Amino acid sequence: MTVNVGTLDRYLRAALGVVLLILAFASGLPLFEGGFVKYAAVVIGLVMIVTAAIRICPLYSIFGIKTCGM
């Protein structure tokens, strides 16, 4: 697979992933105390962090999107 996630996209994904994990584990908001929303935020947050780290987004590959400028 080729790199398809650019620098700005990478930083935004990492930030969103961290925010979702903080909301899920440390926010104390009633919305995130339920099972589904909490676990969905954790899964989406981890996916965002992993795609930012490896710079490959499978959905971008399917749709032919590249934000890396190569």
Task: Please count the structural domains in the chain.
Answer: 1
- H or E element in which residue 17 lies: helix 7-26
- Residue 68 resides in a domain: no
Q: Residue 42 sits in which domain range? A: 7-63
Tokens matching residue 14: 């990492």
How confident is the model over 3-44, as pLDDT tens digits?
999 999 999 999 999 999 999 998 888 888 888 999 999 999
User: Closest by alpha carbon to 59, among 40, 38, 44, 70?
Assistant: 44
pLDDT of residue 30: 87
7: its two tokens: 């620098």
pLDDT in tens, 46-66: 999 999 999 999 999 999 999
**pLDDT of the residue at 68:** 87
Position 25 in a domain: yes
Residue 32 is assigned to a structural domain of this protein: yes
Q: pTM for the full model?
A: 0.86
Per-residue confidence band for 70, with pLDDT thresholds at 50, 70 and 90: low
Look at residue 70 and tell me if it is in a domain: no
